[in-house]
Amino acid sequence: MPEHSEHIVSPKIYFTIFIALVIGTSLTTWAAFQNFGPFNIVIALGIATAKATLVVLFFMHARYSVGRTRLVIVCAIFWLAIMLALTLADYQTRQPRMSRLVPPAVFYRV
């Protein structure tokens, strides 16, 4: 029989994470109706990232997984960061007004 290296997460932890995710959802919905000015999007994405982190760490067992799996997760986030950062930097540093994405007028005449 093969030995088992996999970690078994208890239902108690799963339930705690589930409750935390429900609280996160309520919190982000509540926060959406308050006006925090420029921080609205920061708060919304912050809560979403916290929720996603909980799902990855516990529901997807990343907290207990081997280094190889963690490397894949870090790579995915890193590649995503490259794509977002370089593309957005490109849009931000074009000639004035270019970041406003001048649309071809004919495209919209449906």
Partner 1 sequence: MHRTGELFGHFQTLEQQRESATFGMWVFLATEVLFFGGMFLTYTINRHAYFTAFGVGSNDLDITLGTTNTLVLILSSFTMAMAVWCAQTGKKKLVPLFLVLTLVLGCAFLGIKFVEYKQKFHHHLVPGRSFDISYHVNHPAPGDDPKEIAFEKEELAKALASDPDTNSHAQLYFSLYFAMTGLHALHMVVGAGLVMWLIGASLKGRFTPHYHTPVENIGLYWHFVDIVWIYLFPLFYLIDRHR
Other beta carbons less than 10 A from residue 58's beta carbon: 19
Other beta carbons less than 10 A from residue 45's beta carbon: 12
Q: Is 9 in the site for partner 1 (CB under 8 A)?
A: yes
Q: Is 11 in the site for partner 1 (CB under 8 A)?
A: yes
The CA-to-CA distance between both ends of the chain, in Å, stands at: 66
Contacting residues toward partner 1, per CB under 8 A: 1-6, 8-11, 14-15, 17-18, 21-22, 25, 28-29, 32-36, 40-41, 44-45, 47-48, 51-52, 55-56, 58-60, 66, 68-69, 72-73, 75-77, 79-80, 83-84, 87-88, 91, 99-101, 103, 108, 110
